[in-house]
Structure 1
């Protein structure tokens, strides 16, 4: 009996804490949402428009919006990189793709990179045309990830032979806080934090079928938030991949402002760009010219990416709406449990399977709009950025990271609440707007993508941060930003 009371009391305490955290975040978000959508960029324009030097360590907005020179770097760095798993062909999540894009770009800039990661089990490791890019591979754990002990030993050998590392970068917890806590020249990129995931858990619980068992994920997630709040400060510098994540790290995780830096993900602008002929060629795979609208989905076809929601919305529309059934074709690129169910929807849905990067670029060029129904509030999906750079409008779930960093206005695309009814309304709204309106939105989306979401912009921001922290923030030449003259 006493044990039951203790358990009940503990659960009530957790619920109270969750309520207070959620209320605090909701109030802040409500205040932000009632402000004009462009308030961040407006405030930033005031700061940079004064042509006064800016302390980068205290800059509150995304570094992608700053203008760093494309000239050769003033100093070449020796950089250690920890990655749990290196991407292999199309078998990579967002974190791995970020690691590949960023560090190849830094190697191209001339920096010496040493990447500590796992060796693949059943295939050869990819080769890259850079003599300044070194891989230190160790046998993966049972889960297929970097063995922390082996990776750390390899790092220590390299750090003590010749010149020590100027800076250390870890993709999330590829380097655990127990080893990172005494490293002052270290930056960690967070591709998802537990506090953001609470929103995802709430959505999935609301969408849960009554016959499915209730999960205890909210209680577990809250404990994870508390754990992260305790150990995150052991990392010297934190890179948030969305504006919302940066805000949470400062407000909820209580990390000092000068240690949190927002650098939004970027994708290769040489691969993802408008190409009419590529799109036309791709349509030979089965896109009928009679279709007035082609929608695209891409990524892992799993539950937390919102595919049960998308499947149900499409199923209902194809049953109820004759115009939608006649005019719309949906291309699905990716693999996962929901691929077979999409095939069951009939000729309006064409499942393509996983695509290589070049094929994916052609896929984007073949569609009129890209839809991402994700229920995962963590990080920032690369697919949205790829589609925008290809000149396509986007539609996505109304999550904080998406509406604050990506779809900041209706000129770029569409957002919906994570319900079947809201998603159906948005899909019908796209049909009503038609190709001409979508093409105009796509131009705006590409313009924003080129300003913020390119690999070049991302790499330039990381390079400048690494230059700054390589001297522990003491060199004003690297940590101070001078706005170019004439910037408004």
Structure 2
């Protein structure tokens, strides 16, 4: 009995500790928002309005996303030698957001003439590894650990060998790791390193809370919240081992500074970008896509969903909303159809709603995915994962489509900053249905206008060219600091304003 009481007291203390952590973070967020002055991010304000023409900017203390700035599109005369650590290199359509970011960014930097060395895991079938037409792009493959991560000892040896090689012999100007591709035990030895975070534990707490609220009575209760709070504390401790941090959303940049307590001059916001040569507005391609898949002209609203069809991407919520709307509204059933691109367990459930209203296409390659975006009237992302910055939203916007997405801080703070771009919804069944009915009521005319605004915003902030130019300038800045270069690459004058 005494042992049971001790266990209860211990459990109660853990719960109290968790509630204290969450409450403290919430209070800090509230106080910060109350004290926020003009440099703080305001979703209702267009980015960059605080800048003045020909203003000289200290990039390391720039409070907003570097995508605001217009860096030269012509590559600099100094070609850098860059080391990249990424757990897995993308293969065809089998890639998550982190892998797609690594592919898009470093192919673009290779195009700009930089010498790129990528340290990644070897695939099961080595002959299937993609080949690229860049002699300055080098891959160093190693066998993954049992958990699928980079073997830190092996990749460190590979890195050291390349760090003193070349003709002439030349060390790396900068080291870039996609999340914990290079773990903190190794990274703390490098002052010329930048890490890009594609999801942190603090964001995941929000996701856990949402999924617990949406849990059905039949599902077992999750006990991950307390563990996640402990994970945040662990991250706060080891994140300091990385010299520079790149946040892929404004929200994460704010969290890294306030909650993780990383000095502002070591946190830089560079939003994700996608290949604007692939993802672009193409009316003819969209029309052909609809015809090839037999979309009847009577369907006056074509909704699109793409990505992994799994629970934490919000598909149980989306499925139930569509199921109810198809059943309860004959007009919606007659005039609307949903195209679902992707792979996962919820694909078969969507098929059960009937091909007249839902068409499941399976996973699509990038070129096919671009045609898919052009075929729809609006793109929907019902994700429950409050992590990173989802590439599908950016791809749809560059194709000229408005977007409907969950009201998460990273999305409302960086992507859907107002109603001219699209729609957001709190993740409940009733409010998702309300948002879908509003989209249906607005119709194609309104959606086309929003789509054009979304396209212009996408080109301005979310292109691969824009992202690569920002990373290039960050890498030049870090390299000049580490090498004692007399030219200060961390000062920038945006003469376009």
TM-score of the superposed pair, with normalisation by structure 1: 0.96
The residue that corresponds to 1:270 in the other structure is 277
Q: Name structure 2 gaps, 5 residues minimum.
A: none
Superposition RMSD in Å: 1.7
What CA distance in whole angstroms lies between the structure 2 residues aligned with 1:136 and 1:121? Answer: 15
Which stretch of structure 1 is more off in the superposition, 159-168 or 350-359?
159-168
Looking at structure 2, the residues matched to 25 and 72 of structure 1 have their Cα atoms a distance apart, in angstroms, of: 39
For residue 78 of structure 2, what is the aligned residue in structure 1?
A: 75
Structure-2 separation of matches of 1:298 and 1:310: 12
Tell me the residue number matched to 1:318: 326
Indicate yes or no: 2:45 matched with 1:39: yes
Partner SS state of residue 277, structure 2: coil
Number of the residue aligned with 1:339: 347
Question: 1:219-266 deviations in whole A, cap 9, x for unaligned?
Answer: 011001000000101100000000000000000000000000000000
Q: What does residue 416 of structure 2 align with?
A: 407
Q: 1:259 aligns with which of 261, 266, 270?
A: 266
Alignment: residue pair count: 483
Quote the Cα distance in structure 1 between the aligned partners of 2:133 and 2:46. 40
Q: Distance in 1 between matches of 2:411 and 2:230?
A: 25
Partner of 2:121: 118
- In the other structure, the counterpart of 1:357 is 366
Per-residue deviation at 1:7?
A: 3.5
The 2-side partners of 1:171 and 1:216 are apart by 29
Secondary structure, counterpart of 2:350 in structure 1: helix
Matched, 1:480 2:491: yes
Further displaced range: 17-26 or 374-383: 17-26
Structure 1's 286 and 148: CA in aligned 2 closer, same or farther, altered over 3 A?
farther
Distance in 1 of aligned mates of 2:151 and 2:187: 15
For 2:60, which of 50, 57, 60 is the aligned residue?
Answer: 57
Could you list the per-position Cα deviations for residues 361-386 of structure 1 after superposition, in whole angstroms to 9, with x for gaps in the alignment? 00000000000000000100000000
TM-aligned CA deviation for residue 97 of structure 1: 0.3
Q: Quote the Cα distance in structure 1 between the aligned partners of 2:42 and 2:184.
A: 39
Query: Of 178, 182, 186, which aligns to 2:189?
Result: 182
Report the alpha carbon displacement of residue 29 of structure 1 after superposing the two structures with TM: 5.4
Write the mapping of 1:134-283 to structure 2, written as runs, cut at 5 A.
134-161=138-165, 162-283=169-290
TM-score, length-scaled by structure 2: 0.94
Q: Structure 1: where are the runs of 5+ without partners?
A: none
- Output the CA distance in 2 between the equivalents of 1:174 and 1:288: 47
Alignment of 1:378 onto 2:387: yes
Q: Deviations over 1:178-219 (max 9, x none)?
A: 100121000000000110111111100000011211111110
| Structure 2 residue 394 is matched with structure 1 residue 388 | no
What displacement does 1:147 show? 1.8
SS of residue in 2 equivalent to 1:54:
strand
SS at match of 1:68: coil
Deviation at 1:10, TM superposition (A): 3.0
Compute the displacement of 1:31 (Å).
7.5
Which is further off, 237-246 or 20-29? 20-29
SS at match of 2:29: helix
